[in-house]
């Protein structure tokens, strides 16, 4: 037998060729997902900081209330929740249009 065949047989017996590939793959995937989550969280923090620096008039111009900023970026269902009634935002009495 040649040295390479013996080497491959030893690797197979100890699980180095296939047995450890799966755990390393899972570890690499976990690291990749964690890195992605950290990157997204950092982007959200920067967006919140940028929006919080805007004055109330500018936020109103872009259709946001200060109380919506965090929920707008973290809500997974993408539904906006206002804490201020629409009629008071537009200075109108009665129903919102």
pLDDT tens, residue by residue, 22-60? 788 889 999 999 999 999 999 999 999 999 999 999 999
Calculate the average pLDDT of the chain.
75
In this prediction, residue 97 carries a pLDDT of 37
Cα separation, 75 vs 80, whole angstroms: 8
pLDDT of residue 73: 77
Q: pTM of whole model > 0.75?
A: no
Range with lowest mean pLDDT among 37-41, 48-52, 78-82, 93-97: 93-97
Please count the CA atoms within 13 angstroms of the CA of 75 that sit on its side-chain side: 11
């Amino acid at each position: 037998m040649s040295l390479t065949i013996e080497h491959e047989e030893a690797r197979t017996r100890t699980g180095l060729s296939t047995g450890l590939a799966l755990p390393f793959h899972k570890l690499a995937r976990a690291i990749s997902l964690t890195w992605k989550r950290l990157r997204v969280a950092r982007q959200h923090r920067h967006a919140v900081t940028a929006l919080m620096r805007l004055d109330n008039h500018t936020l109103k111009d872009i259709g946001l209330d200060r109380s919506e900023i965090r929920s707008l970026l973290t809500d997974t269902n993408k539904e906006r929740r206002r804490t201020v009634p629409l009629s008071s935002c537009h200075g109108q009495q009665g129903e919102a249009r």
